[in-house]
Amino acid sequence: MIIELRRFFENDDIKQDFSYEFDTEDEIISSPVSVSGYVKNSTGIVSISAQAVFTVSTQCALCAKDIRKKLTVPVKHFLIDQLNDEDNDDYIVVENLSLNLDELVMEDIYLSFPTRFVCKADCKGLCPYCGNDLNENECGCKKPVDPRLAALQQLLSDDE
């Protein structure tokens, strides 16, 4: 959705609510992204405050279990029509006084994503040796001895 912002920059004390949804091509977002909030000018300061709600479907990075989660991401920014001296991500410079809200929402969604999704904070993952799901039970696999170390041990015992 494109929001035309001229009237928000030209009028103090104006507020408009919005609520809509858009589809995304993102591979792990499995629902439309539903966005609701408002744009306002309050005492000369233009801002957007909204939240994006959507469902993520992916697999645990550790144990590969399916994960399906409903997430809510806040989208809150001050909007300015020209650069100022502040170096701050909270400020969005809107060129041509129009805002592509879908793009802004997707940026905030990606910033909110963890580097990897896990099924639970303390997921134990899979055993690297037998593939057993360590959340289900222990498999008793021992870390194999490094073959170089084994060769060295062999050499040492040959000398005796």
Of the candidates 18, 121, 110, the residue with the CA atom closest to the CA atom of residue 71: 110
Say whether residue 151 binds Zn ion (CB under 5 A): no
First to last CA, the chain: 80
Which of 121, 130, 145, 149 forms a contact with Zn ion (CB under 5 A)?
Answer: 130
Query: Token match 């959507």: residue?
Result: 54
Q: Interacting stretch for Zn ion, rule CB under 5 A, among 12-20, 23-31, 116-124, 144-152? A: 116-124
Residues 24-83 that bind Zn ion (CB under 5 A): 60, 62-63, 65
Of 50-58, 68-76, 112-120, 146-154, which segment contacts Zn ion by CB under 5 A?
Answer: 112-120
**Lookup: tokens for 62:** 């550790």
Binding test (CB under 5 A) with Zn ion, winner from 3, 28, 80, 127: 127
Nearer to Zn ion, 141 or 152 (CB): 141
When binding is defined by CB under 5 A, the residue of 139, 150, 151, 152 that contacts Zn ion is 139
Q: Does 129 bind Zn ion (CB under 5 A)?
A: yes
Q: Give the residue with the Cβ less far from Zn ion, 53 or 63.
A: 63
Residue numbers at the binding site for Zn ion (CB under 5 A): 60, 62-63, 65, 119, 123, 127, 129-130, 132, 139, 141
